[in-house]
Amino acid sequence: MASSSASNSVQHLYGTPAPQPSNGEKQSNTDGVEKGIENIKLTSHNQYKTPRLLRENLDENPLKQFNAWFSSALEPKDDTPVVHEPEAMTLCTVNSKNIPSSRIVLLKTVDDKGFIFFTNYNSRKSKELNENPYTSITFYWREISKSVRVIGKIEKISRKESEDYFKTRPRGSQIGAWSSKQSTKVEEGQVQNIVNEKTKEFQNKDQIDCPEFWGGWRIVPFEVEFWSGQPSRLHDRFRYTREEGSTGEWEINRLAP
């Protein structure tokens, strides 16, 4: 992919040529919309430097290994976690026509079975997960040069778990969950009007119930990869695999960067 000689390309972080503006093209920086995608230049050549990741230091269980890395992402630096919002992850779904889509969601829990996030069960992502229960999530923790990829099968968590979590949410988010038919077309101001109605409707209720259409999904992994950035792109990668549905031991392999 790398093309050092081509005059109209620069190196992307991973060597992919990124487009350069053609001569005479407008290059205003004042407005992202006006700017257009042609002008994006990616010339960064970060040299990642983290301690080498060695097989002997890995936990046999990828969920425990994930927790160890997640804890290191949460370690305080200048009174805030070293990684800002390490729980943000890209969730990829593939619909029944094999067309993928991805979006960011927040990891809320890792239990002994998998990775849990919460959403609207009628949203696009949930519909696609109902059509095809295989999914992938990816974390990127820039500040500590780490990334984790998970591939697995999705399942709904129990109603009680969703209700218990819903109780802990701020009231505004609870009303928000009731007010948004997530992923559907809406008119300007429509959601706010529903929020106003729901706020009134619930005003005498101390506890707002969890909507039936809202709850948690658990990604039960059969593959988890840990990536740790190293200089000269010679990164450390370890992949855990086991058969889907198995509760047995994980096979762990180092992968070429």
Ligand X SMILES: Cc1cc2nc3c(=O)[nH]c(=O)nc-3n(C[C@H](O)[C@H](O)[C@H](O)COP(=O)(O)O)c2cc1C
Residues that bind ligand X (CB under 6 A): 88, 101, 103-106, 117-119, 123-125, 182-183
Angle at Cα 41 formed by Cα 39 and Cα 44, nearest 5°?
Answer: 165
**Angstrom distance (rounded) from CA 70 to CA 202:** 37
Minimum CB distance to ligand X, residue 115 (Å): 12
Beta bridge partners of residue 237, listed in sequence order: 227, 255
Minimum CB distance to ligand X, residue 93 (Å): 7
**Angstrom distance (rounded) from CA 8 to CA 18:** 9
Strands 146-156 and 134-141 come out as antiparallel
Catalytic residue, candidates 169, 233, 237, 242: 233
By beta-carbon proximity to ligand X, the closer residue of 103 and 233 is: 103
Q: What per-residue string of b and e applies to 199-236 under the rule 16 or more CB within 10 Å gives b?
A: eeebeeeeebebbeebbbbbbbbbbbbbbbbbeeeebb
Please indicate whether residue 233 is annotated as part of the active site.
yes
Minimum CB distance to ligand X, residue 105 (Å): 4
By beta-carbon proximity to ligand X, the closer residue of 137 and 252 is: 137
By beta-carbon proximity to ligand X, the closer residue of 117 and 250 is: 117
Residues with catalytic roles = 233
